[in-house]
């Protein structure tokens, strides 16, 4: 909706489903009572005394994440409110090439460390620090026994030293001890991939937590000899946190807060680098009958994830991303620590929208949600409702 600057605005809310709802425009300190009876109504009135793009929403837990949110445009917002910032969110379908049944070989990995202001949400940006201009950084795939050379180049316009620590490396600092790279320089090291598994990598320049929270994390998959079995779909997802001086939902450039980082109180939580990377920017899609493999990791730097896919059960969970241990089977929710990973496999049997969450569910309100859309024919023997619903609608 669009209104003139300075106008007195009234927004009426009518309840059509009988559940509890309210409406609020936080930027103007306007908030209604909660209404719960079907057909009941309420309203908010406020003066739109500043121009910009602002959010109106239902403030009840989970309702914003379910879609009860919109934008109100006041006046003619300045260019800063609507500018197109660079997109750094990583496409979950970009998982690299499987190694297959090849022998061990020499592999070269090139990483560029950058610092850039980029899109966080529809009307917010953040100065991210990245590997290869994406958050998370590229998913790297090698084979156990490979000899891997890592070249780390720090962009000339960076203002900080950066480095990389691979959890898959046996050696000083996982490589960080020899890759403290000043702007405009390159440093390298070589390691042998001794252990199969899915491993996190991250910047390890002091203060390490600041470099990680700003976006400097990714994963390397060390496949076993012969590679992993083929599946129909693969996705690469990492969970991260941002600690900003501005509150969640604020517009404009969000500034880093050391105080909130040390208190472990993030304002923003996200999958793949932005608050809507896996709900709006990128689609995770599968067909009924597909076997899906998800490479899931936590960049952090602080919070443990209780990863859960609402409406699905993980057929196999490779706990702690160990590929040499028997997988857990028939798992609802699994723990992934910061700097840790897991590999999840499941067959999708019924169409619909399945929401990926951290089951510390209040985190959805700070941006932590993703959607897997499954298309295909519904099987009433698996799921059936007495109400007429579209299984592809998510409702």
Phi, psi at residue 146, to the nearest 5°? -65, 150
Query: Dmax of the chain from CA atoms?
Result: 71
Q: Which fold has domain 233-375?
A: Immunoglobulin-like (2.60.40)
211 is in an annotated binding site: yes
Asked if residue 82 lies in contact with residue 53, where contact means CB atoms within 8 angstroms, the answer is yes
For 93-147, write each residue's pLDDT tens digit.
999 999 999 999 999 999 999 999 999 998 899 999 999 999 999 999 999 999 9
Instruction: In whole angstroms, give the CA distance from residue 336 to residue 339.
Output: 8
Sketch the domain layout of the chain as residue ranges: 2-81, 106-223, 233-375
Within the chain, which residues score under 50 in pLDDT?
80-82, 394-395
**Model pLDDT, residue 392:** 54
Phi, psi at residue 260, to the nearest 5°? -70, -35
For 312-343, write each residue's pLDDT tens digit.
999 999 999 999 999 999 999 999 999 999 99
Instruction: In whole angstroms, give the CA distance from residue 181 to residue 162.
Output: 5
216 is in an annotated binding site: yes
No. of H helices and E strands in the chain? 3, 27
| Rounded alpha-carbon distances, angstroms, from residue 299 to 113, 237, 242, 352, 376 | 16, 10, 11, 29, 34
- Decide: helix, strand or coil at residue 23: coil
Burial class (CB in 10 A: 0-12, 13-18, 19+), 77: middle
Asked if residue 361 lies in contact with residue 273, where contact means CB atoms within 8 angstroms, the answer is no
Extended beta strands in 48-184, E state? 52-57, 69-74, 106-121, 124-131, 140-143, 147-154, 165-166
% of residues, the chain, pLDDT over 90: 84
Q: List all residues 6 or more positions away from 266 whose beta carbon is below 8 Å from its beta carbon.
A: 213, 241, 242, 243, 260, 302, 303, 366
Cα torsion at 224, 230, 234, 240 (round to 10°)?
-20
Same fold, 2-81 and 106-223: yes
**Model pLDDT, residue 358:** 98
Instruction: In whole angstroms, give the CA distance from residue 367 to residue 369.
Output: 6
pTM of the model: 0.82
Asked if residue 296 lies in contact with residue 316, where contact means CB atoms within 8 angstroms, the answer is no
359 is in an annotated binding site: yes
Asked if residue 273 lies in contact with residue 240, where contact means CB atoms within 8 angstroms, the answer is yes
202 is in an annotated binding site: yes
Nearest residue to 164 via CA among 186, 192, 197:
186
CATH 2.60.40.420 is right for the domain spanning 2-81: yes
Q: Which CATH architecture has domain 106-223?
A: Sandwich (2.60)
**Model pLDDT, residue 383:** 96
């Amino acid at each position: 909706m669009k209104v003139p600057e300075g106008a007195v605005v009234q927004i009426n809310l009518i309840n059509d489903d009988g559940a509890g709802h309210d409406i609020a425009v936080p930027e103007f300190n306007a908030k209604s009572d909660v209404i719960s009876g079907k057909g009941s109504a309420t309203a908010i009135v406020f003066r739109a005394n500043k121009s910009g793009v602002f959010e109106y929403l239902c403030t009840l837990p989970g309702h914003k994440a379910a879609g009860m949110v919109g934008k109100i445009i006041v006046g003619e917002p300045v260019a800063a409110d609507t500018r197109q910032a660079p997109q750094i969110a990583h496409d979950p379908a970009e998982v690299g090439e499987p190694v297959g049944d090849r022998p061990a070989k020499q592999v070269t990995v090139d990483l560029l460390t950058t610092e850039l202001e980029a899109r966080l949400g529809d009307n917010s940006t953040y100065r991210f620090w990245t590997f290869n201009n994406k958050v998370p950084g590229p998913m790297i795939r090698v084979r156990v026994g490979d000899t891997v050379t890592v070249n780390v180049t720090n962009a000339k316009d960076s203002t900080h030293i950066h480095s990389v620590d691979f959890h898959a490396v046996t050696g000083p600092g996982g490589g960080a001890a020899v890759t403290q790279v000043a702007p405009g320089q390159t440093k390298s090291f070589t390691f042998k991939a001794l252990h199969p598994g899915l491993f996190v990598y991250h910047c390890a320049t002091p203060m390490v937590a600041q470099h990680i929270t700003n976006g400097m994390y990714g994963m390397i998959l060390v496949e076993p000899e012969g590679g992993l079995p083929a599946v129909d779909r693969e996705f690469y997802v990492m969970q991260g946190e941002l600690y900003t001086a501005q509150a969640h939902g604020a517009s404009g450039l969000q500034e880093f807060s050391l105080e909130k980082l040390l208190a472990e109180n993030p304002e923003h939580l996200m999958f793949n680098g932005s608050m809507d990377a896996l709900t709006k920017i990128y689609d995770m899609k599968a067909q009924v009958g597909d076997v899906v493999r998800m490479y899931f990791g936590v960049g952090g730097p602080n919070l443990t994830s209780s990863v859960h896919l609402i409406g699905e059960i993980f057929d196999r969970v490779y706990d702690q991303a160990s590929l040499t241990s028997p997988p857990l089977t028939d798992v609802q929710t699994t723990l992934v620590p910061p700097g840790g990973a897991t590999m999840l496999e499941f067959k999708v049997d019924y169409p619909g929208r399945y929401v990926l969450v951290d089951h510390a569910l209040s985190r959805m309100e700070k941006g932590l949600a993703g959607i897997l859309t499954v298309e295909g024919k519904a099987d009433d023997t698996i799921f059936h409702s007495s109400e007429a619903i579209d299984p592809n609608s998510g409702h």
